[in-house]
Amino acid sequence: MIKISRLLAAAGLAQLLAMPVSAQTEIALYPGRIPNAIEAENQETNEKGSVRNVSKPTLTAFLPPAGTGNGAAVIVCPGGGYGGLVIDREGYQVARELNKSGIAAFVLKYRLPSDRIMKDKAIGPLQDAQQAIKTVREKAKEWQIDPAKIGIMGFSAGGHLASTAGTHYDSSFVDNPQKTSLRPDFMILVYPVISFDGKIGHKGSSANLLGMTPSPERVSYFSNDMQVTASTPPTYLTHAGDDTVVPVSNSIRFYEALLAKGISADMHIYSEGKHGYPKTPSFDEWFGRCLHWMRTTGLIPAN
């Protein structure tokens, strides 16, 4: 009986080891001092997949099973209005789905703007996004990633952060002694906050990031449709026309700005979906279109 039990245990272990699971590792985003930080008590909380009061940013790597990766990588920025992070639904779950298509994924738990923990809260999240791009690019060989296929993906306010990284990469807000490129090679923006224009901007995100009375210069600087240039990365956008939280005009303005500069862009607008796509479109629907765009642009192999 003992021998049989051992054989069954060994067989179970072998079966477990053979399963196509992804390697998942969380690392501190900064190896040393966190830039722009004020020493303060860590008050981070995590309840039901939603994180608040992030002061110690991390990067969680989800790597495809050995032999299945295609070299592409995506840094995922969850949303939450710059007041929290929907880190499970718009982070870890998405990362696992990216792995299924051979794409390495890195979930960014970025600092949430706060005068309590930052000298300048407006640049804190951008610093973390730039550091994430820098880290993934510098570790590309170790993680078997093509350094020319590193993109950034963001949901809602995370979409604002992703688009900020894609339009402000020429201004480095982190130490970068190796002069590593901070430019994402592509962007995937899902019901994103883009503009802080009072007519279409998301007031909560704007207030959390810039304060209640930001200067016109700061509003313009962080309204990313106004910051598109001829070198802004190619972009996939998806939004719902009935989104009353972040109006679809955000995506439309960004799409039009990209086209005006000759930047390749793909946009899918659904008549119904509301903010967060709680019921429709299904994940497979919008994510499948995103994968199709990645295939047609050569970021991942065609099926």
Domain-located, residue 30: no
Beta pairing partners, 175: none
| pTM greater than 0.95 (yes/no) | no
- Per-residue pLDDT at 8 exceeds 90: no
Question: For 187-217, what is each residue's pLDDT tens digit?
Answer: 999 999 999 988 898 999 999 999 999 999 9
DSSP conformational letter for 232: P
- What pLDDT sits at residue 22? 53
SS3 (DSSP) at 46: strand
- Per-residue pLDDT at 11 exceeds 80: no
Domain count for the chain, please give it: 1
Specify the higher pLDDT residue, 135 or 21: 135
Exposure string over 184-218, b if 16+ CB within 10 A, otherwise e: bbbbbbbbbbbbbbeebbbebbbbbbbeeebeeee
- What pLDDT sits at residue 18? 37
Exposure string over 6-34, b if 16+ CB within 10 A, otherwise e: eeeeeeeeeeeeeeeebeeeeeebbeeeb
Domain-located, residue 255: yes
By the 10 Å C-beta count (0-12 exposed, 13-18 middle, 19+ buried), 85 is classed as buried
Q: What is the mean pLDDT of residues 17-35?
A: 77
Domain-located, residue 169: yes
- Per-residue pLDDT at 45 exceeds 60: yes
> Residue 96 belongs to what domain range?
44-296
Supply the CATH number for residue 57's domain. 3.40.50.1820
Domain-located, residue 151: yes
Question: For 115-170, what is each residue's pLDDT tens digit?
Answer: 999 999 999 999 999 999 999 999 999 999 999 999 999 999 999 999 999 999 99
Query: Picking from 2-16, 64-78, 203-217, which range would have the lowest pLDDT averaged per residue?
Result: 2-16
- What pLDDT sits at residue 201? 86
- Per-residue pLDDT at 6 exceeds 50: no
Q: Angle at CA 52, nearest 5°, toward 51 and 56?
A: 90
User: Cα separation of 274 and 271, whole Å?
Assistant: 9
Rounded to a whole number of angstroms, the CA Rg of the chain reads 20
- What pLDDT sits at residue 303? 74
- Per-residue pLDDT at 247 exceeds 90: yes
Mean pLDDT for all residues in the chain: 93
- Per-residue pLDDT at 274 exceeds 60: yes
- What pLDDT sits at residue 198? 84
Domain-located, residue 36: no
Domain-located, residue 78: yes
Specify the higher pLDDT residue, 22 or 91: 91
Q: What is the mean pLDDT of residues 37-60?
A: 96
- What pLDDT sits at residue 199? 86
- What pLDDT sits at residue 17? 37
Domain-located, residue 202: yes
Domain-located, residue 28: no
